[in-house]
Chains A and B, each alone.
Chain A
Amino acid sequence: MPTTTSTELRSTIVRIVLESGEGEITESDLAAADWSLTAVGYTSLSYIRMIDAVENELGVYLDPEAETERFATIDGIIGLVVESSGDGDE
């Protein structure tokens, strides 16, 4: 994964999450929903699109069978990306 600061990573994830949603979601909607994707109407199609984009852009693999609840928040996704890129470096 290219070197990024945690702020850059967060804004990249937020951008991908907003772009991947099926409905119209804004960053303020997400903030008002405590950064929960489920609360802003994220569908399974949106999740698939989001995971595809994260994998493509950041060069990581996110296993959708593991710890599915972590995909439901921005912090959860950031955690998964960080862990996954750590694995890749070893």
Chain B
Amino acid sequence: MIDTIVSEALRRHAPRTALADTTRSFSYAELDAFATELAADLRPWLSAGRPTRVGLLAGNSAEYVAIYLALLRSGCVPFLVDAAATATELRTITDDCGLDLLVQESPVPVLPSAVVRGPLGRHTVVAPGASGPVPGLRPDTEVCRFTSGSTGKPNCIEFSGRAVARAAVNWAEGTGLSEDDRIACFASLSNGLAFNTSLLASLLAGSELRLHRGLPTAGSVVRALAQGRATRLVGFPALYESVVRTAASTDALRGLRFAISSAAPLSAEVGARFTELTGVRIRDYYGTAETGPLTFDAGAAGTVPAPGLGPALPGVSLRAGSGPGEPDTILVRSQSMGSGYLNAPGAFEARLDEEGWFRTGDVGYLSGGSLVLTGRTSHMLNVGGRKIDSTEVARVLLEVPGVADAVVLEAPSRHGAPMVAAVVTGDAGLPDPAELRRHAAERLAAYKVPTAIRVVAEIPRGTTGKPALPRLRQLFDPVSRQD
């Protein structure tokens, strides 16, 4: 289904520019032809009689999009894997989900045991040799994405073609995305922020998508915007913090009409200062991996922002608390909802209430229709806009001989930004924090590795046995530091 609507859009917008990165650009007609060519190259490696499961493990590029379209066109199911995944994480994902092939950037397999099949454009196709039972995909699943999970390992979310298409159409409609727009996307396409605001939405609307990779420093953002004359900027809070911190040259930012950041962690001061510098207000993207985009604040540029993240997008229904004094669990129904977790049977269904509303794990209330977040019910951390499962990180620390207990939490860094922190207890054999970090870095993507680790005699706990997080957080307070 996705292929049908994208192919129609590629024909409709044929002469317009569809995609660009720092090395090349494609018109819609050229993208169509390139995707067809890549689909033909893929043919010898496809499984007979069932959709081939293909992990796409790559950073942003114009070719990434062409490969994504070629996979859909070939009847494959693309699994969009975070390019920051370590070999250990990739092995778990491959075995859990029964991946047949991986498309990667390096010509040398990321997984040591994988076998190279051949080149696909500038990328390389490898057979990862998945082992273990292969879980069955739902018949209408067209794309799979990963979330930090609630089960101690990444959950693989299955999406029907209809859900992915509705996410894109509803976002484009709710935010007024049009063929006059040029999107500068600094978020990774495997991440929900870019997947939902940029990838398919851009193609269906006939916009121009300019893809960037690497760290979003103010210097690189200004250069990219000066070159691409973007009307929309998509990035994580770190990008906006950098622009504000360096008071970057703003001439390049003058053509911007929208700036989109992932929800919650961006501070009000950064938002206000960015608006002062550019005349553009940062809109918070709020959505979850499982439900797709949920709200959008469409208030005009320069106006005083209403509280919260905006009202529900088309195709989305929200339930939350009724006011600031009564925040409640946020429940969602959306046309862009995933169908279930491929590798954690029952865990997705457990998050639905009896009427089929999805529990997001966030808490908040509705103020004049606009959603205001006040906290979270889950043990997910949100650091720099990326979600991290604290249980997954704690489990990796507990593997280390000498570690008796480990709690992973969000704590303020010395610059005031949230960081991943860990508190551990152990016996005489407990290695030093640097060694613990090394162990974690070998097994977890870099953004999940604790930045600071404290060793204590005992983890303070409340009467329910839960770790006393405020007391643990104080261990990272600059004033109470022992060193």
Contact = CB atoms under 8 A, between A and B. Distances in A.
A10 B438 CA distance: 26
Interface in B364-397: 384
Interface string B440-464: 0100001101111000000000000
B214 A23 contact: no
B214 A68 contact: yes
A75 interface: no
A44 B481 contact: no
Nearest to B441: A38
Contacts of A62: 217, 219
A62 B215 CA distance: 11
Contacts of B212: 65
Interface in A36-66: 38-41, 43-45, 47-49, 51-52, 55-56, 61-66
B219 A51 contact: yes
B409 interface: no
A1 interface: no
A33 B238 contact: no
B246 A63 contact: no
Contact of A45 (B220, B417, B434, B483): B417
Contact of B220 (A32, A43, A44, A63): A63
A23 B413 contact: yes
B233 to A, nearest CB: 16
A22 B414 contact: yes
A23 B241 CA distance: 18
A52 B218 contact: yes
Contacts, number: 87
Interface residues of A, number: 27
A24 interface: yes
A64 B414 contact: no
Contact of A64 (B215, B441, B481): B215
A44 B438 contact: no
A23 B217 contact: no
B441 A48 contact: no
Contact of A55 (B217, B384, B414, B449): B217
A51 B239 CA distance: 12
Contact of B452 (A23, A29, A47): A23
A47 B215 contact: yes
Contact of A40 (B22, B241, B434): B434
Contact of A23 (B22, B213, B451): B451
B245 interface: yes
Given A43-B451, A44-B238, A48-B215, A64 B220 contact: yes
Interface in B186-219: 212-219
B437 interface: yes
B219 A44 contact: no
Contacts of B447: 43-44
Nearest to B84: A44
A39 B217 contact: no
A33 B433 CA distance: 13
Most interface-central of A23, A39, A47 (chain B CB within 10 A)? A23
B452 A65 contact: no
B415 interface: yes
A33 B450 CA distance: 17
A48 B216 CA distance: 7
Interface in B411-442: 413-415, 417, 419, 434, 437-438, 441
Contacts of A33: 434
A39 B434 contact: yes
Contacts of A23: 413-414, 419, 451-452
Contact of B215 (A29, A44, A56): A44
A49 B223 CA distance: 18
Q: Which of B413, B438, B441, B451 has the most chain A CB atoms closer than 10 A to its own CB? A: B451
Interface of A: 22-24, 29, 32-33, 38-41, 43-45, 47-49, 51-52, 55-56, 61-66, 68
16 contacts: A22-B452, A32-B434, A38-B446, A39-B434, A43-B419, A44-B215, A44-B446, A45-B417, A48-B238, A52-B218, A52-B242, A52-B245, A55-B218, A55-B219, A56-B246, A64-B216
Given A41-B452, A45-B384, A45-B417, 8 more contacts: A23-B419, A29-B434, A39-B438, A43-B419, A43-B446, A48-B238, A48-B242, A62-B217
